[in-house]
Amino acid sequence: DGGITQSPKYLFRKEGQNVTLSCEQNLNHDAMYWYRQDPGQGLRLIYYSQIVNDFQKGDIAEGYSVSREKKESFPLTVTSAQKNPTAFYLCASSIGLAREQETQYFGPGTRLLVL
Amino acid sequence: AQSVTQLDSQVPVFEEAPVELRCNYSSSVSVYLFWYVQYPNQGLQLLLKYLSGSTLVKGINGFEAEFNKSQTSFHLRKPSVHISDTAEYFCAVSERGSEKLVFGKGTKLTVNP
C-alpha cells in the first residue's frame, strides 16, 4: 500500500534533549512538509522540502531542524531550543512543484510530550 | 498573504440533521481550496478539493462544498449527518503556483443521537 508513515506514535522528551521524528513516504512524491498542530490553532508549517537536499523554513521553524537526504524520507529534529515542544506533529507529501494538483497527503502523526 | 477563517470553532448537531461548516479565505490571486477531516489522534484525510471548473464539488462520505468567488467562501455541507461524522474539519487554501497550504483553525463537529 502506498502512503506516509510516521514514527513513533508517541514520543517523550526530557528537558535539554533533542528528539527526532521520522517521516517516510512511498508515493514517489517530490515535496514533503512538517506541520505542528496545537489545540484550537490549526496546522502551522515548520519546514518543507521540494526536492532532495533542499528545504525551506516555514512559519515556525525556530527550534527545529530537518534533512532531506533521500526522496522518501524527511526527518524532523526537535531541538532543546524549542521551549514548548508539546504538540501533535504531522508530516505530509505532495507530487511537487510545477504540477497543478498540489494536494497534500498526511501521515498519522506523532504526539510529542515533555517529561 | 493568503489566510483562512473558519467561522465556527464548534458545531453541535443532531443525527440526520443537515450541517454547514463555514470557511472564508483571503487571497489576491487564484486559489485552490481544500477540506480535510481529522478523527481523534489521527492524521488529516482529504474530503474534497476545488481546483477549477464547476463551483460545486462533491467529496467522500456525502459531503459537498461550493466555491463562491465573490464571497470568497468555500462552505462545506452535508444534508444528513451520522454519528460517525463527529470529527474536526479543516479548510485550507493554496495560491496557484505556491507550494504552501494555509489552514484554518478548524471546526469541531459533534453529532449527537
Partner A contacted by B36 (CB < 8 A): yes
- Give the three-class secondary structure for A83: coil
B35-91 residue pLDDT tens: 999 998 899 999 999 988 889 999 999 999 999 999 999 999 999 999 999 999 999
Confidence of residue A105 (pLDDT cuts 50, 70, 90): very high
**CA of A108: how far to CAs of B59, B64, B107, B113, in Å?**
21, 24, 19, 28
**Which pLDDT does position A101 carry in this prediction?**
60
Of A13, A8, A5, nearest to A115 by C-alpha is A13
Confidence of residue A99 (pLDDT cuts 50, 70, 90): low
Confidence of residue A16 (pLDDT cuts 50, 70, 90): confident
The residues near B53 (Cβ < 8 Å, ≥ 6 apart) are: none
Partner A contacted by B60 (CB < 8 A): no
Say if the Cβ atoms of B105 and A41 lie within 8 Å. Answer: yes
**Which pLDDT does position A97 carry in this prediction?**
64
Half-sphere exposure of B89 (CA within 13 A, CB side): 32
Q: What is the mean pLDDT of residues A84-105?
A: 84
What's the CA gap between A81 and B29, in Å, rounded?
Answer: 37
Q: In B, which residues are within 8 Å of A48 by CB distance?
A: 99-100
What's the CA gap between B106 and A88, in Å, rounded?
Answer: 15
Residues in chain B: 113
B27: pLDDT strictly greater than 80:
yes
Q: In A, which residues are within 8 Å of B44 by CB distance?
A: 43, 90, 92, 106
Strands A54-57 and A42-51: antiparallel
Say if the Cβ atoms of A48 and B99 lie within 8 Å. Answer: yes
What's the CA gap between A29 and A15, in Å, rounded?
Answer: 35
Stretch (H or E) spanning B24: strand B23-26
Q: What percent of chain A has pLDDT over 70?
A: 94
Phi–psi pair at B84, nearest 5 degrees = -70, -10
Say if the Cβ atoms of B43 and A106 lie within 8 Å. Answer: yes
B95: pLDDT strictly greater than 60:
yes
**Which pLDDT does position A83 carry in this prediction?**
86
Confidence of residue A102 (pLDDT cuts 50, 70, 90): confident
A100: pLDDT strictly greater than 60:
no
